[in-house]
């Protein structure tokens, strides 16, 4: 699962990193837990592993959180593992997106930052992406690469000429190397 903050919240996130980044991770986890607890979808609490990303490969500021989520959850009595009810999906993404948006709004209100957000943010759909990941090994490997690594590594730097830095990255869609 990937939870992305809308572009209109990026300036606030950059200025209030401690609050907004913590809120992003907390709201995403609580949103997942809320829907998974519903017997209609799972009826239990799944295992969650979340990682905050703040930049794209092209070094564009883009705060988002990746979560690896188990397709089974622990029952309330902690005695049984409960599978997701629907084999094609874990939880409905549109509902998850709405819950996530509401939790961010409530968190910003509590932090006294809500007035800094344009009202239209709360009326637009938010991006929550879900994709089945098999047993999750590839996702865990992907997330693990970012936990202890800086955004820009030496091998990605191509040149420094008259104060202008040039670097490269692999485009996620085309898989082509791009130079910036």
Q: Do residue 108 and residue 130 come from a single domain? A: yes
Given a cut of 90, is residue 113 above it in pLDDT? yes
Cα→Cα distances 70→10, 33, 38, 49, Å: 29, 11, 15, 9
Q: Do residue 127 and residue 162 come from a single domain? A: no
Tell me the three state secondary structure of residue 127: coil
**pTM above threshold 0.85:** no
**Tokens 């572009």 belong to which residue?**
7
Q: Do residue 141 and residue 62 come from a single domain? A: yes
The pLDDT value recorded for residue 151 is 63
Q: Do residue 101 and residue 119 come from a single domain? A: yes
| Span 119-176, pLDDT tens digits | 999 999 999 999 887 777 887 777 777 666 666 677 878 888 888 888 887 787 888 8
Task: With CA atoms as reference, report the closest residue to 13 among 53, 59, 58.
Answer: 53
Q: Do residue 53 and residue 105 come from a single domain? A: yes
| Domains of the chain: total | 2
Rounded average pLDDT over 11-25: 96
Burial of 72 (0-12, 13-18, 19+ CB in 10 A): middle
Q: Do residue 172 and residue 104 come from a single domain? A: no
Q: Provide the terminal-to-terminal Cα distance of the chain, rounded to the nearest Å.
A: 28
Q: Do residue 165 and residue 109 come from a single domain? A: no
Give the domain range for residue 73.
Answer: 2-149
Q: Do residue 144 and residue 156 come from a single domain? A: no
Q: Do residue 40 and residue 102 come from a single domain? A: yes
CA 26 to chain centre: 10
The pLDDT value recorded for residue 150 is 64
Tell me the average pLDDT of the chain: 89
Q: Do residue 54 and residue 125 come from a single domain? A: yes
The pLDDT value recorded for residue 154 is 76
Q: Do residue 94 and residue 27 come from a single domain? A: yes
Q: Any residues with CB less than 8 A from the CB of 30 and at least 6 apart, and which?
A: 103
Given a cut of 90, is residue 104 above it in pLDDT? yes
Q: How confident is the model at residue 38 (pLDDT cuts 50, 70, 90)?
A: very high
The pLDDT value recorded for residue 41 is 95
Contact in structure between 71 and 77 (CB atoms under 8 Å):
no
Task: With CA atoms as reference, report the closest residue to 98 among 18, 34, 11, 55.
Answer: 34
| Span 41-65, pLDDT tens digits | 999 999 998 989 887 777 778 899 9
Per-residue b or e along 130-156, where b marks 16 or more CB atoms closer than 10 Å to that residue's CB: beeeeebeebeeebeeeeeeeeeeeee
Q: Do residue 114 and residue 163 come from a single domain? A: no
């Amino acid at each position: 699962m990937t939870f992305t903050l809308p572009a209109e919240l990026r300036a606030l996130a950059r200025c209030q990193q401690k609050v907004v980044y913590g809120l992003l991770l907390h709201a995403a986890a609580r949103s997942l837990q809320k829907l998974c607890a519903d017997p209609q979808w799972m009826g239990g609490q799944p295992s969650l592993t979340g990682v905050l990303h703040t930049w794209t490969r092209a070094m564009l500021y883009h705060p988002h959180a990746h979560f690896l989520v188990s397709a089974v959850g622990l029952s309330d009595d902690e005695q049984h593992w409960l599978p997701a009810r629907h084999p094609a999906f874990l939880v409905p993404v549109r509902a998850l997106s709405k819950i996530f948006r509401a939790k961010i709004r409530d968190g910003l209100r509590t932090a006294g930052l809500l007035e800094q957000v344009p009202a239209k943010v709360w009326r637009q759909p938010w991006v929550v992406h879900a994709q089945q990941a098999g047993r999750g090994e590839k996702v865990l490997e992907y997330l693990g690469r970012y936990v202890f690594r800086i955004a820009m590594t030496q091998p990605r730097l191509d040149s420094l000429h008259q104060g202008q830095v040039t670097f490269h990255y692999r485009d996620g869609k085309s898989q082509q190397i791009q130079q910036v």
